[in-house]
Structure 1
Amino acid sequence: MAIDWVSADELQAKMADRSLRWSPWFRVIVREMLLPWWADLKAAWKMQPRERIFRFDAFAEHVKGDGSQSGLSATELADICAAESKLEWGSSERRTLCLKMENEARRRDLSGKGGAAGLKQGAYGKVVTHKHSKLDQLMRLTEVSAALYVKFVPSALPNKLVHTSDDQRFCDEKLGQVSRSFAAVIRQLPDELAWDILIFYLVLRALDTIEDDMDAFKTTPQVKCDHLSAFGDKYLGNENWTMDGVGEGAEKDLLRGFDAVSRVFNTLPAASQEVIRDITNKMGAGMADYVSVDLGQGTVDMASYARYCHMVAGLVGEGLTRAFLARGLEEEAIAGQGEMEWAFCASVAESGGKTLGLANSMGLFLQKTNIIRDYLEDYVDGRAFWPAEAWRKFARTSELGELARPTAYGAGLYAAAFDSKADPLGAAIVGKGVRTSAIACLNFLVADALELVPDALTYLGLLRTDEVFRFCAIPQVMAIATLEVCFDNPQVFTGVVKIRKGLAARLIVDSASMQGVHYWFYTLAKQIAIRCPADDPSRKKVLAATARIIQITEPAARATATSRQLMLAFATIAVAILAFMYQQYLG
């Protein structure tokens, strides 16, 4: 063991030498305590033992999130102790305080932000988004050609909306600002239906903005409930009603200018208005019921999980189905019952067969996919939706955040959970004693969502209007692509996983036909089945769900295999020509 006697300046010089390795905690202690003591040794010898216990943040290079957790945001254990000491030992109040502090610290650690309290409900960007490298995307020629086609060919997703008033222009502008994915598919619908769906979307987005704002109604939750309950009957269609101070950015502007939305709404046919108002009332009432529900640890069970998805997405499926029928664009078969039976749908006898079961399965498939993908973001937000009935089968504690610990999602065992290529020795060490309980829970929920696919495909197969088909098909194909990239992927627990932009473009192009939709469901379901670990606790469930999808889609998928090969050849030639032209004229 080497010993070296140094002065304060010499120590700092040695610690600045990048070739020398120092313990992160020693560096913190030197920075926070040793150097101040050293500056006045006489005073330091007279110091009394500290009564407060401090939590320090390490230097930026040692901290997840590039050091975004500053010392100012660190929780002082002494403060927690002081707050707890005022409460009776073993009381529910003391336990609640302790859990609240623990959850706050964990959310801060996971998000890399200064504190979870500052994170706005419903906002994006709270956690890292796992991106694909540009090289990886450019190497996929069919995806590159599809992206170029969607971007530069107007007929890929034509805009059929016609503006005849300033109010319509405002609504269309807000649609483009608040929608990340639906604006293009709404605008390609037949003009009259497009306005029905556009207004329907903006109304629900405004309602959702009120429900999502955790600051405006922080001390007055009943006021929020009143707004949600009154939105459909009192606000929608009232050309003098607007709301300020709620939401952020484009959503805030939408509520400020909601009188324009109401004026356009009032020009729609009575049947369309009835559908939009009815669904808004039902969603508003459902949201009001959840305002006071503690969702910090997810929904209670699988039934409440499904019911929540029905409230925020199944009802949308019902409304869209009724809107298609009201315009006479589709047949009543789309309002029928599927394989899945839902407690929140009317029975076949009560509804005369129009249970809207298929429509609910469509909506639930999309919402369950979003909930699976957004595990970490929702948990950090303090409102999670993974059902406790499911995740507690895999976790060792009663804390949903356990799944985000490296020891739960296979750090050192999964390449995506640890850079084992760059540091194989580190991966071997980290992997000792590590479990994969989080991955097992993830795969169970993916299988649960995949069980809805037969109903979704049945619904799509009943559609007769090309634009309506594409409007419905694109989100469904995007959903199974998202599930495929999330499946068995530890990155779900470290950020938000998304599909490649080029792949999204291919899915948009291919979703113009049922044959293309079947091809992708077949391909992606097969990939999930192939990647399912042999020792996965839900392997039987996963394989059963994927086998059912493959059975339905295989005939059409095999029929399109030749055309796919031709498309690849065309894409290769097209990209080669573009590269040649670039070199000749721009290089």
Structure 2
Amino acid sequence: MESLREILKYPEELYYLVKLKMALRGAEKHIPSQPHWAFFNYICRYAYFIWFFESLTLSFWCTEDDTGIPTEVKVPMLIDFYRHLNDINWHYSCGTRNLDKIVVDEFHHVSTAFMELEKGHQETIVDFTKRMGAGMAKFICKEIATTDDYDEYCHYSAKLVEIGLFKLFNPSRKQDPIMEKLCGSTFIFYQKRDMIEDYLEDINEIPKPRIFWPRDIYSKYVDKIEDLKCEENSVKAVQCLNEMVTDALKHAGDCLNHLSTLNDDDALQFFGALAVKGMGTLVLCYNNIQVFKDKVRLRRGLAARLYEQTKTMSDIYNVFFEFASVMKSKVEMQDPNAMKTLSELNKVQEICRKSGLLNTRKFYIIKTEQGYNSYLVSLHANLIYLLNDGPLHLTIHNIRIFIHLSTK
């Protein structure tokens, strides 16, 4: 649950947190008894795909992120990772975070679950795993020097995951080339949000830093990426951060366009929740020096509230439009990328307008002493911090997705 301090500061969000807690208690009664399924902690339509993919991507990132694993060990491990999917004896002790360590060290649960899936699903997962592993191995030996490199890395580490999930959500649906291009945009958008938000954690990694920001961006402002966290480089650091956020925004339009093609409510809520949280976090990070001092994240109460209130494309368009408005208010014209940032935000808002699904809403920015780097509190015109006393309708599927989103 959220810290007492934040609950007292934002009491209107307590309802959403309590609602989630109640639903979780009910969900725990339905967790399967088999160890390999209980490991994923799910029981519902589609959830096993989501959590299976989550376990695989955690395993990849755990292996890649552990800077203590020698390159000569790490590269072949990533390339051959797909071969371990049906090997219940394979495991590896590595990783710097507890969840990552558990997934890789107890990989037999993943293998056991994999072997119970339908053959077609297994083939999709093997294909995704093989391509993702080879791509990530490539960047163990290759610096992310340009924005093209950055986009390519995100293709392997994020886009392939979404394409794989989309195929599992829609096994009989054939995509045209345009939809194939759009598919993956949500995960790339969210992945870039991760890389921006996690700057300090990555740069302080031991025994050596993880560097995902492309050199052709940060080198405009400092000689070494580590220098961005130095107090004397604060102005340049924020300008670099703003360029990184602007680069992420170029995926927002494709993200919205792809979400608008989803006909399955579960899929829309899953991918939509990622998109909304990604956009909200970018708003918080933009022009915010705290990114170089501490973890900047959406409050869980606000994330819960946004998640609860963004179940349709109309909701998603409205939240994106409001978030874009908030970020616009934070743009300072002396920033070297100000016009480009505003252009990307205008593109997002134009897509929302053209949808014809925007509603009349109000939004407010809470201003702090550090400037406009705080939180958006979006209000429906007819919902001003009123508690909803409707029925509890968070499904187990939605609960598990929310936990993933809010506790990353």
Measure the CA separation in 1 of the matches of 2:360 and 2:29.
32
Partners of 1:142 and 1:550 in 2: CA distance: 28
- Alpha-carbon shift at residue 522 of structure 1 (Å): 0.9
Match of 2:63 in 1: 210
**Structure 1 residues 140 and 364: CA distance shift in structure 2, 3 A:** same
| Structure 2: runs of 5+ lacking an equivalent | 363-377, 391-408
Among candidates 209, 224, 241, match of residue 74 of structure 2: 224
Q: Say yes or no: does 1:245 pair with 2:93.
A: yes
Q: Which residue of 2 aligns with 1:491?
A: 290
Supply the distance in 2 between the matched residues of 1:160 and 1:198 (Cα, whole angstroms).
18
1:322-361 residue pairs with structure 2 within 5 A? 322-326=167-171, 328=172, 331-332=173-174, 335-336=175-176, 353=177, 356-361=180-185
What does the per-residue CA deviation read over 1:295-341, in whole Å, with 9 as the maximum and x for residues that have no partner? 5xxx2011001111111111111111111122x5xx54xx45xxxxx
Query: Which residue, 284, 302, 316 being the options, matches 2:161?
Result: 316
Deviation of 1:161 after TM superposition, in Å, equals 7.1
Quote the residue 2:38 is aligned against: 169
Higher relative contact order (CA 8 A, sep 6+): 2
Q: Give, in whole Å, the separation in 2 of the partners of 1:354 and 1:270.
A: 28
Aligned match of 1:447: 246
Give the residue type in structure 2 aligned to 1:360: G
Counterpart Cα distance in 1 of 2:73 and 2:198:
28
Aligned to 1:476: 275
**1:538-572: per-residue Cα shift (whole Å, max 9, x none)?**
11111111111112224534346698133225239
Contact 2:49–2:165 (8 Å) recurs in 1: no
1:205 and 1:511, CA in 2 relative to 1: closer, same or farther beyond 3 A?
same
CA distance in 2, matches of 1:546, 1:366: 17
Deviations 1:490-529 (A, max 9, x none): 1111122111121111111012111221121111110101
Of 231, 235, 242 in structure 2, the residue corresponding to residue 406 of structure 1 is 231
Retained in 2: the 8 A contact 1:142–1:572?
Answer: no
Which of 314, 325, 330 aligns to 1:515? It is: 314
Give how far 1:368 is off: 1.0
Q: Does the 8 Å contact 1:279/1:319 carry over to 2?
A: yes
Cα 1:465–1:162 change in 2 (3 A) is farther
Matches within 5 A, 1:87-126: none
Cα distance change on mapping 1:207 and 1:161 into 2, 3 Å: farther
Determine if the alignment matches structure 1 residue 283 to structure 2 residue 132: yes
1:527 corresponding residue in structure 2: 326
In structure 2, distance between residues paired with 1:468 and 1:572:
24
Q: Distance in 1 between matches of 2:257 and 2:200?
A: 32
Q: Is the 8 A contact 2:86 2:114 kept in 1?
A: yes
The within-5 A match list for 1:33-52 is none
Answer yes or no: is the 8 Å Cα contact 2:200–2:291 preserved in 1. yes
TM-score, structure 1 normalization: 0.58
2:204 maps to which residue?
380
- RMSD after superposition: 2.9
Q: Name 2:338's counterpart in structure 1.
A: 539
Cα distance in 1 for partners of 2:159, 2:286 equals 23
- Note if 1:459 corresponds to 2:329: no
Contact kept in structure 2, 1:283 and 1:315, CA below 8 Å: yes
Write the deviation string for residues 52-97 of structure 1: whole angstroms up to 9, x where unpaired.
Answer: xxxxxxxxxxxxxxxxxxxxxxxxxxxxxxxxxxxxxxxxxxxxxx
Amino acid at match of 1:531: K
Paired letter, 2:64: E
Output the CA distance in 1 between the equivalents of 2:307 and 2:102. 30
Q: What letter corresponds to residue 204 of structure 2 in structure 1?
A: V
Note the alpha carbon deviations across 1:143-185, whole angstroms, 9 max, x for none: 3333233333469x9789762633212333xxxxxxxxxxxxx
1:256/1:205 CA distance change after superposition, 3 Å:
same
The question of whether the paired residues in 2 share the 8 Å contact of 1:442 and 1:488 is answered with: yes
Select which of 535, 558, 565 maps to 2:381.
565
Query: C-alpha separation between the residues in 2 aligned to 1:401 and 1:212?
Result: 17
Quickly say closer, same or farther: Cα 1:572–1:210, change in 2 above 3 A: closer
CA drift at 1:530 = 1.2
Identity among equivalent pairs (%): 27
- Measured against aligned partners, the alpha-carbon deviations of 1:267-318 in whole angstroms (never above 9, x if no partner) come to 111111111111111111122222234x5xxx20110011111111111111
Aligned-partner Cα distance in 1 for 2:100–2:145: 30
Cα shift readout 1:231-283 (whole Å, capped 9, x = no counterpart): 10x211123x2224333644333333322321211111111111111111111
Q: 2:246, 2:263 → 1: CA distance?
A: 30
Say if 2:379 and 2:385, in contact at 8 Å, map to a contact too.
Answer: no
* Cα separation, partners in 2 of 1:525 and 1:158, compared to 1, 3 Å: farther
CA offset digits 1:199-237 (Å, max 9, x no partner)? 22212322332222233x33xx222222211110x2111
- Within a 5 Å distance, the mapping from 1:108-187 to structure 2 comes to 137-153=7-23, 163=32, 165-172=34-41, 187=42
2:402 maps to which residue?
none
User: Does the 8 Å CA contact 1:470/1:512 hold for their aligned counterparts?
Assistant: yes
Offset from partner CA, 1:464-508 (integer Å, 9 cap, x none)? 111111111111100011000001001111122111121111111
* 2:255 alignment partner AA: A
- One-letter amino acid of the structure 2 residue matched with residue 362 of structure 1: T
Shift of 1:438: 1.4
Residues 487/440 of structure 1: CA separation in 2 closer, same or farther (3 Å cut): same
The one-letter amino acid paired with 2:220 is K
Name the CA distance, whole Å, in 1 between partners of 2:23 and 2:337.
44
